Structure formats: structure tokens, C-alpha cells
Structure 1
Amino acid sequence: MSQTASTSAPTLTPQFCFNERVLRDFLRLSRSTIDDSITQNLNALLTPAQRGFDPSSTANRQTDSKFRLSVDPAACQKFKDDVLFPAWQTRSDVLNYCAGVATSPDPDDPDLILRETESAKDRERVVDERLDPYSARFFPREARTESLANLIRNERTVEEIIRFRTWGLVNERCNESTSWEKALNNWRERQQR
């Protein structure tokens, strides 16, 4: 699969959002293709040695970050503009759309009647907590919009962590000094021109 294939946006519909497995799979695939393999993606941008292979370069293992090669700034910028930022934007668009779905009324909720029935039964219950202290507990079913809202909150937190980690490696290898938020916003502004 190419790197850009993971950044293609799915068709955004409420059904897509409410199918939490498909939503999670999309996010996971996009993250694994771009962010989880960021080191490999950045290494792929390095140009091979211009003077040929130097056998002494393998004599010692160099794990210190100061020995890591910097990537050509033009190649870095192209990677960020063509692969990284579009993937991040696509995921942001999906999360924003699904957040909107989660906060909208859901007339097609298949569990709506069941929840209303349970709620009516719960109001009619007579509870004697002396006989059964746990009988007063009632766990109403969560509306699918509430479940989706919780999922979106969690995924946004995950996205924040992943972007921070990815951008740390981009900073290191591409000699980038801005925050990921600022760099992404700059890219968005350039896209609108």
C-alpha cells in the first residue's frame, strides 16, 4: 500500500461514524502507515552515499542521535506537504465530522425505543434498599451518540499524543523548529491559496 492510500478520506456519513469498528480501523490504518513508521518514512528520504559505500561506517554501532543523518530540507518539506499533513488533515476531518454527528439528534437510533422502555420501567420500580442494597442501581443504556462522543474524545487524545511523538522525530531529522500545530496550520493556509 502506498503512503498516500492511507490518507484518502473515507466517505463521511453518520453510518461510517456509528460503525465504531470501521472508524477505529480507518484511524489505526492511517496512523500505522504514516506515524507509526515515521522513522522508516524519514529514512527513505535519505539519499544514498555519494562517494560509495564506506566499510568503516559499520565498524561501530552508532546509536547516539547526533550521528543520525539529517534529511534534505526539500525532501522533508515534500514529505510533510504531500504525505504527513494530508494524512493528519484527513484524520482531523473525520474526527470533526464524527464529533458533529455525535452532537446531533439521532432519529435513527435503533436502541431508542428500548432505552425509553427501560427508563419507564425504572421510574415504576419500587426499591427496598434494606432488602437489597444493590437493587437501586440502574445502568441505563448509553445512546449511540454518547458512545460515539466518548470514542471521539479518546481518539482525539490519541491523535494528540501520536502527532507530538511523530513531530519530535520530524524535528530531529528535518531540523524543524516549529510546533506541529503551527506547521500544520501553515500548511492549511497554503492549501487555501
Structure 2
Amino acid sequence: MTQPLSPSPTLTPQFCFSPGALRDFLRTSRSAVDDTITQHLNALVTPAKDGFDPSSTSRPVPRPLSHQIDAGSCKTFKDGVLFPAWHGRSQVLSYCALVATSPDPDDPEAALREAENERNRDRVVNERLDPYSGRYFPREARTEQLASLIRTEQSVENIVRSRTWDVVSRRCGGSSGTWEEALAAWRKTNSLP
């Protein structure tokens, strides 16, 4: 059975404030499980259960597009690979969302932003002489940038999970309901937050 290839990183504010590290973790986790979901499910199919039939090679027979997978194998895959990967990504996104809404006393650009805001207050705006003099684009705090990144990644996560769950539901048969319901049930069964 395949295991998730990307364990959850050590959660620190520095990890969250590093957009590259955060995106790399999410990309690696998604590529290890969600992007290759068809290959994972194909690996669960046992094509030669009844043994090899030599007459099967005498004429071409089209393969069914989607083999039904044994319910036990599907459950093992979902419980051992899919849901733990989703849970790990959810934990990272939740933690970083909390960091984004918390005060940031260590923001290295706080003094620079304050100086720019002070200069903007003292600026004379005469749009008749200079139509662009009224423009001012303040720098975003890194918590605001992080919040924007988290919103984007949560949207991507919802799309990825929906598509993955569609494939799993189609191939595994007994997977009814939404991915949210299935993940919540798995968390409840495993006593996870």
C-alpha cells in the first residue's frame, strides 16, 4: 500500500511566512496522492483473480473503462493514504490561517510601511497638475499576504479534493456523499480534530 510521501512539516510561523515552502509542501502532497489518484486506484485492481485464460488472447476484447475495486482495498487506501494526506494539508492550512489572523510583532517591513504611510499623509495631492498624484498603493503586511495565499490555496484544495473524490466514488462504488462528509467521518473515527 502506498503511503503519503509528504509528511506534515513542523508548523511554525516562519514556515507559513515562507510562501515557497508552504506551496512546495502543498504541491508535493497533492502530486503524491491527488494528481496520481487514477494510478493509485489502478494498483488496487486485481485483474487476474481467476487466473489467466489463454482463449482471452484469441480475439480483442475491449477493456472496461473503469474496473470496480474491492471495497476493502478502497477503504484501506482511503483510510491509510487519502484521508491522512488531506488531513495533513488541512492542518497546515488551518495553522497558517491562524498565523495570518494573529498579530505579527516580528514583521521586518513594519517600520518601512509606517514611514511610507507617514509620507503619504504629508503628501500634497493636486490632480489638476498631476493626475497621478492621488495614487498611493500601501504595502501589505505579511499577515495580509499570507491570508490571501491561504484563501487561494484553500480554494485550490477544495477543487482538488472534489475531483479526487469524484474519481474515488466512481471507481470504488460504495463511496457515497461528499468528500467533506467522508473526511469528517474518518476524523471522528480516528478521534482527530
Structures share a fold, TM > 0.5?
yes
Tell me which residue corresponds to 1:160.
158
Per-residue deviation at 1:140? 0.5
Per-residue deviation at 1:181? 0.8
Q: TM-score, normalised by structure 1?
A: 0.92
Alignment of 1:55 onto 2:57 = yes
Cα contact 1:17–1:101 (8 A) shared by 2: yes
Q: TM-score, normalised by structure 2?
A: 0.92
Whole-angstrom CA distance in 1 between matches of 2:65 and 2:140: 53
Tell me which residue corresponds to 1:4.
4
Aligned residues: 187
1:86 to 76, 84, 87: 84
Whole-angstrom CA distance in 2 between matches of 1:55 and 1:131: 84
Per-residue deviation at 1:24? 0.3
Aligned residue for 1:192, secondary structure, equals coil
2:167 to 158, 169, 173: 169
Higher helix share: 1
Please identify runs of 4+ aligned residues in structure 1 that moved more than 3 A: none
The unaligned stretches of length 5 or more in structure 2 are none
Whole-angstrom CA distance in 2 between matches of 1:33 and 1:5: 6
Q: How does 1:43-192 map to 2 (within 5 A)?
A: 43-50=42-49, 51-52=51-52, 54-55=56-57, 59=60, 61-62=62-63, 67-175=65-173, 176-192=175-191
Cα contact 2:5–2:32 (8 A) shared by 1: no
Tell me which residue corresponds to 1:26.
25
User: Percent of aligned positions with the same letter in both sequences?
Assistant: 58
Aligned residue for 2:163, secondary structure, equals helix
Per-residue deviation at 1:56? 5.6
Q: Measured at CA, do residues 42 and 129 of structure 1 come closer, stay the same or move farther in structure 2, by a change above 3 Å?
A: same
Q: Measured at CA, do residues 136 and 56 of structure 1 come closer, stay the same or move farther in structure 2, by a change above 3 Å?
A: farther
The two structures, once aligned, show a CA RMSD in angstroms of 1.6
Cα contact 2:127–2:134 (8 A) shared by 1: yes
Whole-angstrom CA distance in 1 between matches of 2:48 and 2:118: 74
Whole-angstrom CA distance in 2 between matches of 1:104 and 1:61: 58
Tell me which residue corresponds to 2:14.
15
Q: Measured at CA, do residues 192 and 56 of structure 1 come closer, stay the same or move farther in structure 2, by a change above 3 Å?
A: farther
The unaligned stretches of length 5 or more in structure 1 are none
AA paired with 1:5?
A: L
AA paired with 1:37?
A: T
Whole-angstrom CA distance in 1 between matches of 2:189 and 2:18: 34
Whole-angstrom CA distance in 1 between matches of 2:29 and 2:141: 28
Cα contact 1:42–1:173 (8 A) shared by 2: yes
